[in-house]
Amino acid sequence: MIRTSLIAAVALSVMAGTAWAQTWTGGDDLPTSPLACDATPATAAAKPYDGAEPANVPDRKGKEITVVDVPKLIGIGYFNATSKGIADAAKELGNVSVKTDGPTKANIDEQITFIDNYITSGVDGILFAANDPVAIAPVLKKALSKGINVVGYDANSTPDARQWFVNQAEFNGIAKALVDNMAKEIGEDGAFAIVTSTFTTPNQARWIAEMAAYAEKCHPNMKWLETVEAQEDNVLSFNQASTLINKYGDELKGLFGMTSVATPASAEAVTQAGKCGEIAVVGLATPNAMKPYVEKDCVTSVVLWNPVDLGYAAMHVMRAVADGALKPGATSVTAGKLGELQVINGSEILLGAPFTFTKENIGGFDF
Ligand code: RAM
């Protein structure tokens, strides 16, 4: 009986002209919205506010506030950059004291403990980038119940556990940039693998799901081979990339690095395997980490945004929330030197579009 229904389902999908959606391990199961294959921009429909509301919030308008920033981990270039932006904005505002603190490994249980301790010690606001969108929710809701303002950036929680999320770029825009760059470098029928953090980290899972949907729509003959997890760990990322290189041999034409740690580590693995020019590395990383590989032509394109600006925007959003200047239903918010940032998807604030660093432009950046 099951076999018959499965055959019928396949027949129906073929008749409908839709290929089976290829699911790449590491994506989430949220709806996807792949962009057009050409440069046609997305048209984002306005959605109602879907964020949280803290309870018994004291009047913080114009008052000195104490904020803590708890990213996935501390001590890597990417979150050093977001932390710098947060500190720059606090200094500019003049009435915010902020510190960045967190685990030295990307560990959700440790991140939750850090946040819980700051709730106990007493802060006015919590900024976070989540290791796990669901597991982090209870402690963020605890903060909200105590009148603490909660704003996410970089890696979201479930929307009901924070007030706003500052998104570096739209998930489908990052997916398009990564997949288009890989197709350009390995060809429309190239095979690739993915080195990610974990299968549950919110931003990587969103990007991979959107990449799979976009590839199915615009680059249907590219072949996904495997996705491996490497936390935010440089050694593990290098070892996982090396394992993929040895496992797939000449079939492997490309590696996606989904974290700012995995991308340089994958480039180093390709370099040490003597495969520069044979295996493309396309991924998310800071320009400073990738300059050595781009300048020797081992890596052609790196996708990111400005993480300093991301932290800067998150701090300004926190101040606007504390002042009552950013409320549910707002369509934009002023973020200092960045000007007006748009609200999208109900309670996300969009920093901008992804950017591709190449040999021609990477020398102009220092973060
Ligand atoms: C890592 C983290 C972060 C992500 C960057 C690209 O540093 O996973 O959340 O945005 O890479």
pLDDT in tens, 307-355: 999 999 999 999 999 999 999 999 999 999 999 999 999 999 999 999 9
φ, ψ dihedrals at 361, nearest 5°: -120, -10
pLDDT in tens, 64-119: 999 999 999 999 999 999 999 999 999 999 999 999 999 999 999 999 999 999 99
pLDDT in tens, 116-156: 999 999 999 999 999 999 999 999 999 999 999 999 999 99
Tally of CB atoms within 10 A around 147:
13
CATH number at residue 283: 3.40.50.2300
Q: Is 132 in the pocket of ligand 1 (CB under 6 A)?
A: no
Which residue's CA is the closest to the ligand 1 atom numbered 8? 259
261 lies in the same domain as 332: no
164 lies in the same domain as 174: no
How many angstroms is it from 90 CA to the middle of ligand 1?
A: 22
29 with 213: CB under 8 angstroms? no
- For residue 49, the number of C-alpha atoms closer than 13 Å in the C-beta half-sphere is 14
Strand 355-357 with 302-304, pairing: antiparallel
- Tokens for 142? 């605890």
340 lies in the same domain as 287: no
Which residue's CA is the closest to the ligand 1 atom numbered 7? 260
Residues with Cβ < 8 Å from 9, sequence gap 6 or more? Answer: none
183 lies in the same domain as 296: yes
163 lies in the same domain as 71: yes
147 lies in the same domain as 192: no
> Residue 151 is part of which domain span?
65-168+307-351
pLDDT in tens, 267-278: 999 999 999 999
Q: Is 322 in the pocket of ligand 1 (CB under 6 A)?
A: no
- Total tally of structural domains belonging to the chain: 2
Ligand 1: nearest atom to the Cα of 155 = 9
The one-letter code for the residue type at 256 is F
In a domain, 88, yes or no: yes
pLDDT at res. 7: 52
How many angstroms is it from 206 CA to the middle of ligand 1?
A: 12
134 lies in the same domain as 72: yes
299 lies in the same domain as 328: no
- Tokens for 229? 């997890």
- Tokens for 338? 């960045």
Q: pLDDT-based confidence at 14, cuts 50/70/90?
A: very low
How many angstroms is it from 260 CA to the middle of ligand 1?
A: 5
pLDDT in tens, 287-307: 999 999 999 999 999 999 999
In a domain, 365, yes or no: no
- For residue 37, the number of C-alpha atoms closer than 13 Å in the C-beta half-sphere is 7
In a domain, 151, yes or no: yes
Q: Determine the average pLDDT of the residues in 207-227.
A: 97
Which residue's CA is the closest to the ligand 1 atom numbered 2? 259
211 lies in the same domain as 325: no
161 lies in the same domain as 213: no
